[in-house]
Structure 1
Amino acid sequence: MKPTSYELTQAGDRYFDGLVDKFSRSLYQAPRGELRLAMLDYLLPQMLDLREQKVLDVGGGLGQQAAWLAEQGHNVTMAEPSDDMLNYAKAWHRDAKTLPESAITYLQAPLQVLTVQAPGPWPLITCHAVLEWLGDPQTALATLSQLMAPGGQLSLMVFNRDALRFSNAVKGNLEKALSDRLAGQGKRQRLTPISPVSHAEIEQWSAANGLRIDAVAGIRVFQDYLRQPPATPAENATLLALEKHYCRQDPHWRLGRYLLYTLIKPEAAE
């Protein structure tokens, strides 16, 4: 059977219509997805000043981050371009018993139009695992900067290009790692990002937009390189403890499969 083909948008972005089940199964109903969410639960209260402010969740996907923020008392606007993903999130949020009523507003829109459809300015923006699926992640970060209020925070999580290179080398894909042919094409069901991002790029793009990197951490620093996955709850707990212990320590955070940043937009007077 010929594999299903998916087309990128005119902007070169990858949406996930038709892939909700695979996305959910691959990223959230698997150990790596569980660890990712556990690490966000652990890191976000450390890395952000959370004061029940209004939040724009950009590329909210299946709605996990929007739900977490709503449970913390925030008023959340969740923007997501995929109709399938947004409908999944709405249904899940509707059935959840822990979400405050009307805590989440939904907006079907890509990042590129948010300066018009949700201009803010926003005191807190979350944008997790989005830039790596865009054709132009550099311009996307500039757009996010425009949406931020002076003194505002951006929680940005990106798929780490350096970790992807290391992972390919560990798997024996030496020529691929050496030639830096790391990006996916976005044409099939495989979830290899089309625009993996390096820490050096985030540093450069942040500075160009007047944003300060306030904190950084690696997510899934060790899990992807294990020869044998944890086989018991005790081993899973030990792995989580290891990830938590080293996720913000140099050099370990630099090889996290994802890099999590808190970016600050200076006050106008600064």
Structure 2
Amino acid sequence: MSSNPQSINSQSNSYALTQAGDRYFDGLAEKFSRSLYQAPRGELRLAMLDYLLPEMLSLEGQRVLDVGGGLGQQAAWFAERGHCVSMTEPSADMLNYAKNWHRDVKSLPEGAITYLQTPLQLLTQHAPGPWPLITCHAVLEWLGDPQAALAALSNLLAPGGQLSLMVFNRDALRFSNAVKGNLEKALSDRLAGKGKRQRLTPISPVSHAEIEQWGADNGLMIDAVAGIRVFQDYLRQPPATPEEAETLLALEKQYCRHDPHWRLGRYLLYTLTKSETPE
């Protein structure tokens, strides 16, 4: 995965949900970069994607629609590997962050990434495809209606096309709350964030059972699944040395696709393929 984006300033202080109940991240690009990517958990997430995507996808230089591309790491990863990428993102701050960073990345082919500021719900109008490969990583959990979002993604996908989907795992969130001693919260299943202020607890964490059902409802077959950060979030102490960090990464790689371990990954990474014939 490419190196982390460089810092820019974000001025917006509006963190309210949209009318559709979605969470955008205007004003939070710096916090995302600092909290999620310039920290061990973000580094491990990117390392695991770098390891898993070539294993879980058939990559043949096809066009890619990167939905909710955030700070631009995933778009850069595909562009560096010869794909033409259309990166979409509803937040102007996040999109500008990605553009500014991409301009400084020497390994990116010129013109390999195009940008579109639009929410997922409007992509059928602005980027209808059909697309042979769609990536949608850590987006559904920030939407008011993730089930409808998956249906929209299926409509954008070409027959036989692949959807690389990563979601924040509701079951892992419950387990994490129990480990931290938030027993009543775990018992009552009060797990979702409220989307207020600068808090980054997802408003719609998703379960594996939901992805199975919603995928089947939309002609999507799960070809592969893996857990991202299966062990890291439950450690009593983080790795203290580079050697310990390497051992943790090796442990994550070894068990990320093994049952039952993948089921407690902080994120679940899927490859879903659209049926070539109508149901």
Q: TM-score, normalised by structure 1?
A: 0.98
Q: Do 1:56 and 1:126's aligned partners in 2 also have CA atoms closer than 8 Å?
A: yes
The answer for the alignment partner of 1:108 in structure 2 is 117
Paired residue for 1:186, among 192, 195, 198?
195
State yes or no: 1:172 paired with 2:181.
Answer: yes
2:212 maps to 203
Residue 16 (structure 2) pairs with residue 7 (structure 1):
yes
Match of 2:240? 231
Tell me, in whole angstroms, the C-alpha distance in 2 between the residues paired with 1:63 and 1:16: 14
Show CA shifts across 1:31-56 (max 9, x none): 00000000000000000000000000
Matched residue, 1:136? 145
- Contact 1:165 / 1:177 at 8 angstroms: preserved in 2? yes
Match of 2:262 in 1: 253
In structure 2, what residue type is equivalent to 1:242?
L
Matches within 5 A, 1:1-270: 6-268=15-277
Render the CA deviation track for 1:244-268: whole Å, top value 9, x for unaligned.
0000000000000000000000112
Q: Which amino acid aligns with 1:184?
A: G
Distance 1:218 1:269 in 2: 30
CA shift at 1:269, angstroms?
Answer: 7.1
Structure 1 residue 6: deviation in Å? 2.0
CA contact (8 A) 2:169 2:264 kept: yes
The amino acid of 1:185's aligned partner reads K
C-alpha separation in 2, matches of 1:168 and 1:137:
22
**Corresponding letter in the other structure for 1:98:** S
CA contact (8 A) 1:71 1:98 kept: yes
Q: Secondary structure at the match of 1:152?
A: strand
Q: What is the root-mean-square deviation of aligned Cα atoms in Å? A: 0.9
Runs of 4+ in 1 over 2 A off after TM superposition: none
Q: CA deviation at 1:188?
A: 1.7
- Residue 117 to residue 243, structure 1, CA distance change in 2 (3 Å): same
Q: What is the DSSP-based 3-state SS (H/G/I as helix, E as strand, rest coil) of the residue aligned with 2:165?
A: strand
What TM-score do you get using the length of structure 2 for normalisation? 0.95
Q: Which secondary structure state, in structure 2, belongs to the residue aligned with residue 124 of structure 1?
A: strand
2:130 maps to a residue whose letter is P
How far, CA to CA, are the matches of 2:89 and 2:134 in structure 1?
Answer: 14
Q: Give yes or no for contact 1:5–1:187 (8 Å, CA) kept in 2.
A: no
Separation in structure 1 between the aligned mates of residue 89 and residue 277 of structure 2, nearest angstrom:
30
Q: Distance in 2 between matches of 1:129 and 1:210?
A: 21
